[in-house]
Amino acid sequence: MDCFYAAVHMRDDPALRGRPVVIGGRPEGRGVIAAASYEARAFGVHSAMPSSRAVRLCPDLVFIPPDFRRYSRESEKIFAIYREITPLVQAVSIDEAYLDVTEHLGAWGTATAVAKEIRRRVRDERGLTVSVGVGPNRLIAKIASDFHKPDGLTVVPPQKVQAFLDPLPVRRLHGVGPATERALADLGVQTVADLRARAREALADRFGLKLGRLLWEFSRGLDDRPVETHRERKSLGTENTYPADLRDLAAMDEELDRMAAEVAAGLARRELATCTVTLKVRYDDFTTLTRSRTFTFPVCSAGPIAAAARDLLRKTDAAARPVRLLGVTASNLLQGQMEQLWLFEEPAARVE
C-alpha cells in the first residue's frame, strides 16, 4: 500500500489532500513520526524521525495521532480483495503482502493482468492506491514493488531478471542491511553486478555459509522461498512512549492494566492463550530492560496478565526513576483459550 496510514486519513478527509500529513506524536512532546505522506516526504520527513525535527523541515506539517484499529480494519478489507483473487496470500505487515498467482490466473490469463485488477479493485472499492511488483519469485516481486511508487506497476519477466538486478545497489537485496552493505563496500562491491562477480566460496568465507549462499543466489535472482499462507504467531503485545515521563507507580499500574486488557482482547480475537508475560520498561535516559513471568498454566484473560505485569514492574527501579516507555507482551502462545481455574489463590509463576 502507498503511504498507508496517512492515505487512510487523506481519503476520509478531503481537506487533507495535497497537504504534508504525518501520523505520529506532536512535536512539543517527544513524538515520533510513524508515517508521512508523499507531500511531507518531499521535505525530507520520514518515519521514525523525531517530530521536533520533522516540523523544522516542514513547519506546515499536519499532525494526526495514529489510529491503529482503523488501519487494521482497512487492512482486513484490502486483504479480503487479495484472497478473492488467490488463496495464497502471505501478510508481511498490515500494508504489505506476497501473492502467489501461478495457479490462479483465472480469466485474467497473466500475472500482469492480475496485478492491474488488484490495483483497480483497491482503488475503486477502498479509495486507496497500491503499488505492485510482478516477478518470478518473492525477491524480484518485492524489489519491483518499490519502483514507480505511488500507484505503480513494475513487471519483471523471468528473462529480464538479471538486467533488472545488475545496476541496483546491493542494499536492495533482501538480507543486506547496513552492516552487510558496509562489509561489501569494503570488498569493492557496490552493485548487484559487482556482487554477482564474486565467487560463492569467497562470499561464504567472508559472510558465513548461510548469508554467503543467499548473497550468491539473490545476486542471480534465485529465490525458492514459498509464499507462506499460515505463519505461527509467536507473540502479541503493545507498548507506549509517553510525552511526559511517568513517575508514579499508581499511574504506571493504570497503564499496565490498560495494556493487559488490550493484549487479552487480541488473544481472544485469535483464540490464543499465553504462557509468558513480558514487561518492557524504558527509563528517561533510554536505558531499556525487560522482565518475564512464565505461568504454570496458560492464561488468556486480562487479570493475570495485568497482575504479572504490575508485579514485574516492582522488580525494576520504576519507583525511583522516571519511566519513558512501558510495554506488555504475551508469548509462548498456544491455540485455544484455555485457562486454569484455581480453588484458592493462583500459585506463583516462575520469574525469568
Residue pair 329/237 in contact (Cβ under 8 Å)? The answer is yes
Strand 272-283, strand 323-335: pairing: antiparallel
Q: Which CATH code fits 4-66? A: 3.40.1170.60
Mean pLDDT of 181-196: 95
| CATH superfamily to which 167-218 belongs | 5' to 3' exonuclease, C-terminal subdomain (1.10.150.20)
Sequence-distant (6+) residues with CB within 8 A of 268 are 300, 337
In this prediction, residue 348 carries a pLDDT of 47
In this prediction, residue 133 carries a pLDDT of 97
Residue pair 240/326 in contact (Cβ under 8 Å)? The answer is yes
Alpha-carbon dihedral 221, 224, 225, 226, rounded to 10 degrees: 120
What mean pLDDT is reported for the chain?
A: 90
Per-residue pLDDT tens digits for 291-329:
999 887 788 889 999 999 999 999 999 999 999 999 999
Mean pLDDT of 205-217: 94
* Domain range annotation of the chain: 4-66, 69-160, 167-218, 235-351
Rounded-to-integer distance, Cα 108 and Cα 135, Å = 16
Per-residue pLDDT tens digits for 261-276:
999 988 888 888 899 9
Query: What DSSP line would sit under 60-75, residue for residue?
Result: T-EEE---HHHHHHHH
In this prediction, residue 231 carries a pLDDT of 65
- The pTM for the full model equals 0.69
Rounded-to-integer distance, Cα 276 and Cα 281, Å = 17
Sequence-distant (6+) residues with CB within 8 A of 44 are 57, 58
Write out the three cell numbers for 5.
Answer: 496510514
Shortest CA distance to 169 belongs to which of 185, 157, 154? 185
Write out the three cell numbers for 85.
Answer: 483473487
In this prediction, residue 350 carries a pLDDT of 43
Q: Does the domain spanning 235-351 belong to CATH 3.30.1490.100?
A: yes
Write out the three cell numbers for 136.
Answer: 518470478
**What would you report as the CA-atom Rg of the chain, rounded to the nearest whole angstrom?**
24
pLDDT for 351 beyond 50: no
Mean pLDDT of 40-60: 92
Rounded-to-integer distance, Cα 120 and Cα 178, Å = 36
Please list the active-site residues.
96
Rounded-to-integer distance, Cα 228 and Cα 291, Å = 32
Q: Which CATH code fits 69-160? A: 3.30.70.270
